[in-house]
Structure 1
Amino acid sequence: MSFPRRVRIVEVGPRDGLQNEARILPTERRIALIQGLVQAGLTIIEAGSFVSPKWVPQMADTASVLAGLDLDAGIAYPVLAPNMKGYSEARAAGAREVAIFAAASESFSQRNINCSIAESLDRFRPVAEAAAQDGVRLRGYVSCVLGCPYEGDVPVSRVRDVSQALMQLGCYEVSLGDTIGVGTPLKARAMLQTVAEAIPMAALALHFHDTYGMALANIFACLELGVSVIDAAVGGLGGCPYAAGASGNVSTEDLVTMLDGMGIETGIDREALIAAGQIAVAGLGHPARSKLAAARAQAP
């Protein structure tokens, strides 16, 4: 059994983790959360998104969040920018990395962004061209890679094709998302194997939600194939509004605990990570969904 020596964790809590929360985290607390994550050792932290505040009011202050961060300290702060309006706003706010997202499910694409998969890729093309011209790094996301709330199972060949299309647009990395958290280890492994036939493993990342408690098991199964980039959210924040009972992203604290136990380096301090998570949940009105944080809270 062979595993990577080091895993790069992309922290998505301040964006993906907060965008579905009922309460909006104040700007100052979002900045404090991100600063806490930096103190814990995270070097890639999703800072927010430039989308319509009508649809995602939780991210309306992303420009102010970026203004409160040191963008020259060697930390990457990618932001979601799915169209040219969002890209222009992101650049004006100082963003140096943007992300675009496509679905592997036609039904999900239509209901989530009101267009087909092909149309979504066409929308992203000018963003990708502008990013290349401006020297801005471009990351891609594929949602519903292990199942769709409307279609059920999603063909792995479609996941591969959408991932390849994002790479052809100029993405340096594609994150494979189990958006509704229905994946199981062998299915996750088979999906990754298929995508890796078209894209180098070094350019792939995992983004698994933990709706049914399978995220860590799915990640473990994929680590055996050599994947070394994993998205996670502090406190297990997040989830999908289209998945009944969705319990959020895989917890960064629990992921680091597993990787530490496997002897895989992350460069992250677990205790500082727990403290950062508390900054977020204290303003959200519910406890962290991290098993590690819960265990620490109950310890005598």
Structure 2
Amino acid sequence: MQMNLPERVTMIEVGPRDGLQNEHHFIDTEIKKAFIQKLADAGMKEMEITSFVSPKWVPQMQDAAEIVQSRPSGVRNIVLVPNRKGIEQALETSCKSVAVFVGVSNSFNKKNINRSTLESMAELQPMIAELKGKNFFVRACISTSFYCPYEGKVSEADVLGLCQEFADVGVDELSVADTIGMATPFESFSLFSKLKERLPDMMIAAHFHDTRRLAMANIYAALQAGIDRFDASAGGLGGCPFAPGATGNVATEDVVYMLERMGIETCIDLEKIVEAIDVIAPALSRKIETGYYQLAKNG
């Protein structure tokens, strides 16, 4: 049977940022540093490690400057910067890779950052140009690319249009997210096929949450559509404070296990991913229940 699959996939680890942002109690900075280093030791070459956001709204990220200062070498360490203040904080550090984000859905965007999608883009475009002028790597995270918790089904045309706007302003990568985990494999294949056709030279990552246990099927569909970059979170950590009911990101270890079994190279050491999860697990408010991790721990 002939399948349209890549020979190699790049994994982008989002556990330290997207995975931890929804934890209600503050996790010790030294534990976060050890978690990030263990992920780097496992072979992760691209990671979202923290975010420069208001500690009032996301208190978990109040130690962002210290996390950036101790980031591992040889890794693209990405820091989320949602607004001008976040960018100014990033510019005060030595980091050179940032992520911005916009929700396709106006309702989600307003709940998240109190701006419409149009207002967000008007603010972001000159900031992205400034960052590119300073040789930053800029990742654009496209939230609610399939469904919105407030508006329901999101139009493919709206997603494609927003992605085109980001491409036109010069971002390096698009991370296209199923924020509340409602997409089906058919919808995954359809959207990512159209994105690859429209933006053939753009780096595109798929970002799936596993709320309805469809993330792995959606990844398989995205692979068929030509996607070879995937966001994932060690231990399936995550959730979004502005998306009621959304559970964690798809688990890094489960995705890597599936891909490697399919003969797709990831260059990730699964045993070391388990070691990384062991570092963070005792500090979490919930148990890690992902498939591969449970099997690794229980024999």
TM-score bracket, normalised by the shorter chain, equals over 0.9
Q: Which residue matches 2:71?
A: 69
Deviation of 1:234 (Å): 0.5
Q: Of 41, 56, 59, which aligns to 2:58?
A: 56
Q: Does the CA-based 8 Å contact 2:22-2:239 persist in structure 1?
A: yes
After superposing the two structures, state which structure 1 stretch, 176-185 or 240-249, moved more. Answer: 240-249
Matched AA of 1:20: N
Distance 1:193 1:289 in 2: 32
Deviation of 1:50 (Å): 0.6
| Cα-to-partner distance string for 1:101-143 (whole Å, 9 max, x where unaligned) | 1111111111111111110011112321221121111110101
Deviation of 1:158 (Å): 0.5
Matched AA of 2:70: G
Q: Does the CA-based 8 Å contact 1:202-1:227 persist in structure 2?
A: no
Aligned-residue CA RMSD in angstroms?
1.3
Q: Which residue matches 1:282?
A: 282
Q: Which residue matches 2:253?
A: 253
Deviation of 1:61 (Å): 0.4
Distance 2:114 2:19 in 1: 22
State the secondary structure of the residue aligned to 1:94.
coil
Matched AA of 1:2: N
Q: Which runs of 5+ in 2 are unaligned?
A: none
| Cα-to-partner distance string for 1:141-186 (whole Å, 9 max, x where unaligned) | 1011110101110010101011111112211110100000011101
Distance 2:127 2:213 in 1: 36
Matched AA of 1:36: K
Q: Which residue matches 2:186?
A: 186
Q: Does the CA-based 8 Å contact 1:103-1:162 persist in structure 2?
A: no
| Cα-to-partner distance string for 1:79-116 (whole Å, 9 max, x where unaligned) | 01122221121121211101111111111111111111
Q: Aligned pair in 2 of structure 1 residues 267, 32: CA closer, same or farther (>3 Å)?
A: same
Q: Does the CA-based 8 Å contact 1:51-1:82 persist in structure 2?
A: yes
Distance 1:46 1:274 in 2: 18
Q: Which residue matches 1:176?
A: 176
- Once the two structures are superposed, the pairs formed by residues 229-268 of structure 1 within 5 Å of their partners are 229-268=229-268
Deviation of 1:244 (Å): 4.5
Distance 1:286 1:107 in 2: 29
Aligned positions, number: 297
Q: Aligned pair in 2 of structure 1 residues 82, 27: CA closer, same or farther (>3 Å)?
A: same
Q: Aligned pair in 2 of structure 1 residues 84, 246: CA closer, same or farther (>3 Å)?
A: closer
Distance 2:266 2:256 in 1: 7
Matched AA of 1:98: V
Q: Does the CA-based 8 Å contact 1:50-1:79 persist in structure 2?
A: yes
Q: Aligned pair in 2 of structure 1 residues 211, 201: CA closer, same or farther (>3 Å)?
A: farther
Q: Which residue matches 1:272?
A: 272
Q: TM-score, normalised by structure 1?
A: 0.96
Q: Which residue matches 1:206?
A: 206
State the secondary structure of the residue aligned to 1:100.
strand
| Cα-to-partner distance string for 1:220-279 (whole Å, 9 max, x where unaligned) | 011012110000000000012344443200000000000011100000000100110121
Distance 1:184 1:114 in 2: 29
Q: Aligned pair in 2 of structure 1 residues 292, 201: CA closer, same or farther (>3 Å)?
A: farther
Q: Per residue, is there more strand in 1 or in 2?
A: 2
Q: Does the CA-based 8 Å contact 1:43-1:74 persist in structure 2?
A: yes
Q: Which residue matches 2:49?
A: 47
Q: Is 2:227 the partner of 1:227? A: yes
State the secondary structure of the residue aligned to 1:45.
strand
- Once the two structures are superposed, the pairs formed by residues 9-48 of structure 1 within 5 Å of their partners are 9-48=11-50
Q: Does the CA-based 8 Å contact 1:201-1:227 persist in structure 2?
A: no
Distance 2:16 2:289 in 1: 15
Matched AA of 1:33: F
Deviation of 1:199 (Å): 1.3
Q: TM-score, normalised by structure 2?
A: 0.96
State the secondary structure of the residue aligned to 1:69.
coil
Q: Does the CA-based 8 Å contact 2:167-2:202 persist in structure 1?
A: no
After superposing the two structures, state which structure 1 stretch, 286-295 or 204-213, moved more. Answer: 286-295
Deviation of 1:23 (Å): 2.1
State the secondary structure of the residue aligned to 1:231.
strand
Identity rate, percent: 41
Runs of 4+ in 1 over 6 A off after TM superposition: none
